[in-house]
Amino acid sequence: MGSNLQTAAQPTEEEEAALAQIRRGLPILADLARGDVFLFRPTDDPLSAIVMAEAKPCTVPSIYTEPLTGRLVRQSEEPSVIRALSRGMGSSRSHRLLVQGHPTVQDVYPVRLGSQVIGAVAIEVGLVESERQKRKSIVYRRAIDRFRNLVIAGQLEGAENLSRLSEHDGPMVVSGDGRIVYISSLAEQLYRKIGYTHSLLHHDIGSLRTDESVFFKAMESGACVEQLGQEGPYTWLKRAIPLLGQGGEKIWRRVMRRVEPRDQIIVTIHDVTEESQKERELKIKSAMIKEIHHRVKNNLQTIASLLRLQARRTGSPEIGTMLQETINRILSIAVIHEFLAHQDASNIDMHEVSQRIISEVSRGIVDPEKRIRFVLDSTGPTDVLLPTQQATSCALVINELLHNAVEHGFASVSDGCVQVSLGRNGDCVALEVCDDGEPLPPGFDPRQSNSLGLHIVRTLVQEDLKGTFALVNGDGSGVRAVVSFPSVE
C-alpha cells in the first residue's frame, strides 16, 4: 500500500455514524475471517482512497507488520478497492503478492448507505490460510459470510461487548431453534473434557447440562454477548454472535420475539481455566503484598511515635532535634508504604508523595513563630511515576532537602518560601528545592560539609538513584538544591 497522506472526502453525520458502526465490528471480523481487514474511504480524487480503519487478526499472524491507517492508496496499487468505491462492484479471491512476497487472497466489498457507496471493506487472507478455510464445513463458511455481510451493512450490534478471539477459541454454529449445525473439533474436545464423549452435532443446545445461557441471551437481545462460566473444574469464556437476518426483518423479529430456524448464532468457547487460576493467584498475592505494606507503614508510624515520646522526655534540645529529624525520615518512608498499601499499580506518584512530605515537615520542624510557606510547583507535567525503590530514595531526598532549607536558610530569617519542583527532563527526573532565605556562605562546598542531611542526600542520589546533586545560590537570594536522575521504567 502507498505511504502518502491525503484528506478523505468530508463525510456527512449519517455517513460518519454508519462507518463508525462498521468500525466496531472490524476486530471480530478479522478474527473470524482470519485475515487483515481494512475500511477505505474515497478522497476527492476518484482514483485514490484512504485507509480509514484496520483490524489485525488475533487468531493468525497478521500479514502486515506496520499500521496502515491513514495511508493513501492509488488505483495502480488497489484496483479492486477503487472499483468498489467508484462503481459499487465487489471482487472475490483476487490473488496477489504482498508483504515480503507472501501470496494473499483479497476480497473487496462496497459499503453502501442507501444507494450511495460511502466506503469499501477489504479482507486479505494468506493463501495457505485461504486454502485451509476452503476445507471447512460449508455450514460454517456460510455463517462467516453472513456475519461479514452484517458487519459491512453496519447491522452487527454489541460488537463492543466482545473481547478478541484467539487460536484457542472453538466455534460452533447453532440454528434459531437451538440445533447445533456445526461444531469445530476444538469445541468438541472441550465438551469431551466434561463428559460428552459423543459428537454434539445436531443436538439441541438447550438439552446440554452445560450453561448455554449465552446463546439464549444473544438470541433474545439480537446483540453480541460474552460471559465467563464454570463447567465443573473448568472456566470457559463463551461468546455468542447473532446472525438474525437483515435490516427491518431483523428488527421486526426481535420486537415480536419471533425466532426462526434459519436464524443462527455463532458461539465460541475458550477454556481460560489456567488464565483464571493465575489471575486469582495474582489477586491473592497482590492483597497479601498490600497487607504487608500496610503493616510496615503501621510499624514505622509506631516507631515514630515512640521516638516522638522519647524526644519529649529528653532534656537536651540538641537530642530532641536529632530525634525529630529521625522521625521525619521514618515518616517519609512510611508515606511510600501507605501509597503501596492503597493502590494497585507498583509505581508511585511522586507529586502526591511530595505533598505529604511537605505537610509532615511543615507540622514537625517549622517554628510556629516563623511565617515559612511551602509550595509544590504543579505548572509543568505532573506524571512523575517511580518504582518503589526509586520512590523511597527520592522521598528521603525531598525530606532532607526541606529540612536543610528550613534549618539553614531560615535560621535568622522569619519570613520566606520553600518551593519544590518535580518534573521530567527527557528520560530523567528533575527535582529542585529552592528557598528565598539566606544564601550559602562564601566558598561553601557541600562535599566537605559535616551535615548529616547533605551526606544522606549525596549518598542516595549518587549510589541509589545514580544521579547528580548540586547546591548553589539562587538568582536573587536563597539556595537552590538541584537533583537529576534517570527514571527506571
What does residue 420 show for φ and ψ, rounded to 5 degrees?
A: -105, 125
pLDDT tens track for 42-98: 998 999 999 999 999 999 999 898 899 999 999 999 999 999 999 988 887 777 767
Q: Do the beta carbons of residue 472 and residue 482 sit within 8 Å?
A: yes
pTM for this prediction: 0.64
Q: What is the CA radius of gyration of the chain?
A: 33
Report d(CA 154, CA 92) in Å as an integer: 20
Q: Which three cell numbers stand for residue 341?
A: 498499601
Do 352 and 258 lie in a common domain? no
Three-state SS at 470 = strand
User: How confident is residue 425, by pLDDT bands cut at 50, 70 and 90?
Assistant: confident
User: How confident is residue 353, by pLDDT bands cut at 50, 70 and 90?
Assistant: confident
**CA nearest neighbour of 420 among 384, 461, 456:** 384
Q: What is the CATH number of the domain that holds 352?
A: 3.30.565.10
pLDDT tens track for 158-197: 999 999 999 999 999 999 999 999 999 999 999 999 999 9
Q: Which residue has the higher pLDDT, 482 or 248?
A: 482
Do 190 and 237 lie in a common domain? yes
Q: What is the CATH number of the domain that holds 239?
A: 3.30.450.20
Mean of the per-residue pLDDT values for the chain?
A: 86
Q: Which three cell numbers stand for residue 395?
A: 522521598
**pLDDT exceeds cutoff 60 at 257:** no
Burial class (CB in 10 A: 0-12, 13-18, 19+), 434: buried
Do 188 and 323 lie in a common domain? no
**pLDDT exceeds cutoff 60 at 148:** yes
pLDDT tens track for 356-409: 888 888 876 777 778 888 898 865 555 788 888 888 888 889 988 988 888 888
Domain with 328, as residue range(s), is: 274-344
Q: Which three cell numbers stand for residue 199?
A: 459428537
**CA nearest neighbour of 233 among 266, 285, 271:** 271
Do 120 and 146 lie in a common domain? no
Neighbours of 366 (CB within 10 A): 17
**pLDDT exceeds cutoff 80 at 267:** yes
Point out the domain boundary residue: 89, 119, 135: 135
Q: What is the mean pLDDT of residues 243-270?
A: 64
User: How confident is residue 478, by pLDDT bands cut at 50, 70 and 90?
Assistant: confident
Q: Which pLDDT score, from 0 to 100, does residue 379 have?
A: 57
User: How confident is residue 344, by pLDDT bands cut at 50, 70 and 90?
Assistant: low
Q: Which pLDDT score, from 0 to 100, does residue 139 have?
A: 95
Do 105 and 150 lie in a common domain? no
Do 355 and 487 lie in a common domain? yes
Point out the domain boundary residue: 344, 379, 402: 344
Do 413 and 279 lie in a common domain? no
Q: Which pLDDT score, from 0 to 100, does residue 1 have?
A: 53
Q: What is the mean pLDDT of residues 335-356?
A: 80
Q: Which pLDDT score, from 0 to 100, does residue 99 have?
A: 66
Q: What percent of the chain has pLDDT over 90?
A: 47
Count up the domains in the chain and report the number: 4
**pLDDT exceeds cutoff 70 at 486:** yes
